[in-house]
Structure 1
Amino acid sequence: MTSDPEHRRSPGSRHALPPRVPTIGNTVRRIRDERGYTRDYAAVMLLKISRSYLRDIERGRRIPGADLLELIILGYRLDSTLARHLRELRVAAVALDPTAVLARAVTGNPVLIAHLQSLNQRGELAAYIDPVWNVLACNEKFREATPGLERTGSIPVWMFSTHTKPILTDRPYELAYATASIRAITGCFRNAEQTRAVFHHLGPDTEFRATWSEDVRVVYGRDPSALMHAIHPVTGLPVTYSLTITSQSESVLLLILSPSPSPEDATSRETDG
């Protein structure tokens, strides 16, 4: 990779593009901007195509073929998650039923609702969600720990709301993670009404716009060892959650937040013992 300044923009000259539903065109453009490549250098030296062809791809006028897409992945030195993201964007979007339809299917299934109640009795926060992270049904402990979420039912929108400021201990990290997740999820389901709703609500949000423009990172899922640290809104005590998501069907996921003792609680028990 060359370091010749003629082939790179200075950081201050890069375009801070507003949040948009990911497409193959605007994502290739964002990655090139983030890498600092000029269009001439990227097209001619890295991809061996004309500048106008790359411009047409970035503006959504052309869809790169499979071979060219792999050349973009190689030439821009993308990691496996960004490579997966571009491959998903090149093919047709995955269809998704409206949230209301999915919610009726979940709430009308007594087995699923009984499972939520069982998890509640075990002290676990649980919710059935659609792939764009809209809550379809949840148990009482989940509802108790997420004040304000019921207003939109959208976890991404709730994450950037004022409701999470007193709750999330490491809020900047969680918002950056949420943004990377939103990028992956909405790219896959880019034609769904849920995706349009996310960008309708979050597009004007200053905090989301700033986080969106920081990088082009994409994440799929969450390692259960990546704990979420919070303050419980009812007890006011620190709590740590392990987050897991499992697929119940193509359109319904089960989100579980398993609380673990805070360091203060563990120390207190050791002292009592």
Structure 2
Amino acid sequence: MRRNPKLVPTPGIPTFGTTLRLIREDQDHTRHTAANLHGISSGYLFSIESDAKKPKLETISKMLEGYKVGPLLTRHLHELRAPALLLPTSDKLCQQVRGHDDWIKHLDDLEERRTLAAYVDPFWNILACNETWLAALPGIEETHSIARWLFSAIAKEVFVQWEREAAHNVAYDKAMLGLFRHSAQARELIAHLQSRPDYRRLWAASIDVNYGRHTDDLLHHRDPATGTLTSYRLSIAPMDESGTVHLVTAIAKPYSGPPFTPR
């Protein structure tokens, strides 16, 4: 628990400096003790954390080693130091997907097999999907955004492990917000979710980031209309070299999750 409630982070587009400050605070270092740990001055550390100065790569390596930062946060910090990646607008990405007849036909083929399928951008905005996908996520057509839908009341009835799924999503959002921080999608995501109590709580609860989901990490689902429980194996495949469009499929498996407890 953080000792100063004023320092609890609130949702926003990450920067290199603010992320480094959160790592320091998470480890209960003062700026003075952290500066000594890294062999730099407190003033220089302050200028880094306030994004006034960009440290050299060797300085970053020394700081990451001092904080014993894991590989995912290390990747995140290096991405924040580098120029942001460009991400076309959602409209342009939708046009790109719908302009590929083979991609749309693949959605239809998966629909015939009753396989959930959708094309999404890095923020999990839905660019195109099949009817089975829509049926499994009631109300998703109102936002066409999985990240936003996840923090709706219906999502808590659909996802058996909603808290776990929501926390995983917030950690993923942090990584994508850093990677595509100048995009319209980044600004839209924060504008819609930064005031949601659950989103704020989970954002403040951890400094972790993640970049995807292992195929063995099953998603446990409940049909709110019938109460039927199903586990899904997710597959996420990039459709272009830029990594701006992904195909997400969900293969139904016999239910193997915990008992459903209404929230």
Q: What TM-score, normalized by structure 1, do the two folds share?
A: 0.90
SS at match of 2:29: coil
Residue 197 of structure 2: which of 198, 202, 206 is its match? 206
SS at match of 1:54: helix
> Contact 2:120 / 2:246 at 8 angstroms: preserved in 1?
yes
Residue 143 of structure 2: which of 152, 158, 165 is its match? 152
The percentage of aligned residue pairs carrying the same residue is 36
Aligned to 2:125: 134
**Structure 1 runs of 4+ with >4 Å offset:** none
Residue 248 of structure 1: which of 239, 242, 248 is its match? 239
| Partner Cα distance (2:107, 2:4) in 1 | 51
| Partner Cα distance (1:124, 1:64) in 2 | 48
Aligned to 2:159: 168
Matched, 1:178 2:169: yes
What letter matches 1:96 in structure 2? L
Q: How does 1:1-273 map to 2 (within 5 A)?
A: 11-13=2-4, 15-43=7-35, 45-249=36-240, 250=242, 251-262=244-255
Aligned to 1:7: none
SS at match of 2:3: helix
| Partner Cα distance (2:196, 2:256) in 1 | 34
| Partner Cα distance (1:235, 1:18) in 2 | 37
Residue 74 and residue 20 in structure 1: after superposition, are their counterparts in 2 closer, same or farther (change >3 A)? same
| Partner Cα distance (2:224, 2:188) in 1 | 27
Q: What TM-score, normalized by structure 2, do the two folds share?
A: 0.93
SS at match of 1:87: helix
Please state how far the C-alpha of 1:263 moved relative to its aligned partner: 5.2
Question: How many residues are matched?
Answer: 254
| Partner Cα distance (1:154, 1:64) in 2 | 36
> Contact 1:243 / 1:256 at 8 angstroms: preserved in 2?
yes
Gapped regions of structure 1 (runs ≥ 5): 1-9, 265-273
> Contact 2:126 / 2:145 at 8 angstroms: preserved in 1?
yes
SS at match of 2:124: coil
Please state how far the C-alpha of 1:236 moved relative to its aligned partner: 2.4
> Contact 2:220 / 2:231 at 8 angstroms: preserved in 1?
yes
> Contact 1:145 / 1:233 at 8 angstroms: preserved in 2?
no
SS at match of 1:242: strand
| Partner Cα distance (2:235, 2:189) in 1 | 22
> Contact 1:26 / 1:60 at 8 angstroms: preserved in 2?
yes
Deviations 1:38-73 (CA, angstroms, capped at 9, x unpaired): 011101x21111111111111111112111111121
Please state how far the C-alpha of 1:262 moved relative to its aligned partner: 2.1
* Higher Rg of the two aligned structures: 1
What letter matches 1:170 in structure 2? Q
| Partner Cα distance (1:124, 1:225) in 2 | 17
Residue 33 and residue 118 in structure 1: after superposition, are their counterparts in 2 closer, same or farther (change >3 A)? same
SS at match of 1:93: coil
Please state how far the C-alpha of 1:139 moved relative to its aligned partner: 0.6
> Contact 1:144 / 1:234 at 8 angstroms: preserved in 2?
no
What letter matches 2:10 in structure 1? P
> Contact 1:125 / 1:258 at 8 angstroms: preserved in 2?
yes
